[in-house]
Homo-oligomer: A and B are copies of this chain.
């Protein structure tokens, strides 16, 4: 099973993965030792910088007794002019499953087409980032018990941010209402908005964060990613435009969740870290059980009903 976009999963399959992830939490925390993937090898192919995604894949595999090969562009034959196709043929022979992050949109699908082993897209340029979406859904269910009927704010760079592209579709499919908050230059691409609407999703657009906070169940902040801007001047205009601090939260719902795929720069003030609203660090941890569930699924290994 490859996971290139969330479209590779039905809603039922997604929920089943999230249920497996829930069962695997004690293994992810290290309190239960469960070597389900002993003897299996994950190739972690990161042709673009990453910390959380790479390390949480690595932790997920290792906590399940599996092994990890790390490959980055630094120190690899990519520098000698090797094609992604050839690199993937090698990986096909050395590993049982591969996670790939690549600066070019479409690279993960290309890699999946080139080999027999399952490929898990860990982010392809401005394309998709489905494992982030799964852990985001996991986190929202953890906090709210459901997804349907929630009011979710997606805030920041909605144009270049692959995370919010993948997530908005998934939220729409699960029946959430969306408010898209961005400066005009970083609006969600029109085809995504019309897709969302055509699937019956209630979508609002705004450039004002504070007016939308009160009625939100989830506020999903994102970093304005300097590295995705073709033009530094355009970046400077919008950098730091949306910031949350404790003062902004006086009239929000008591169960409201603030999320962020991290790293944050200054979108969320540290005064929020110790409040009940801060879910971003739990969210980062949730990458481990979610990716554990996905690794088991892609390798055809069943997660036991009862763990620990």
Contacts and interface: CB of A to CB of B under 8 A. Distances in A.
Nearest to A80: B263
A290 interface: no
A118 B35 CA distance: 24
A58 to B, nearest CB: 6
A254 interface: no
Contact of A49 (B50, B67, B79): B79
A41 interface: yes
Contacts of A95: 59
Given A49-B77, A82-B263, A86-B263, A94 B285 contact: yes
Contact of A41 (B39, B49, B63, B67): B63
A71 B54 CA distance: 10
Number of copies: 3
A62 B79 CA distance: 26
B75 A46 contact: yes
Contacts of A55: 69, 71, 90, 94
A81 interface: yes
Contact of A62 (B67, B76, B227): B67
A30 interface: yes
Pick from A82, A92, A282 the residue with the most CB of B within 10 Å.
A82
Nearest to A60: B94
Interface residues of A, number: 53
B262 A85 contact: no
Given A56-B94, A264-B86, A285-B94, A77 B63 contact: no
Given A51-B75, A51-B87, A80-B265, 8 more contacts: A33-B39, A51-B76, A55-B71, A55-B90, A80-B223, A80-B227, A81-B265, A82-B263
Interface of A: 30, 33, 35, 38-41, 46, 49-52, 55-56, 58-59, 62-63, 67, 69, 71-72, 74-82, 85-87, 89-90, 92-96, 223, 227, 262-265, 270, 281-282, 284-285, 288
| Complex A-B, nearest 8 residue pairs according to Cβ-Cβ distance, in ascending order | A93-B285, A33-B39, A82-B263, A51-B77, A62-B67, A77-B263, A89-B281, A59-B94
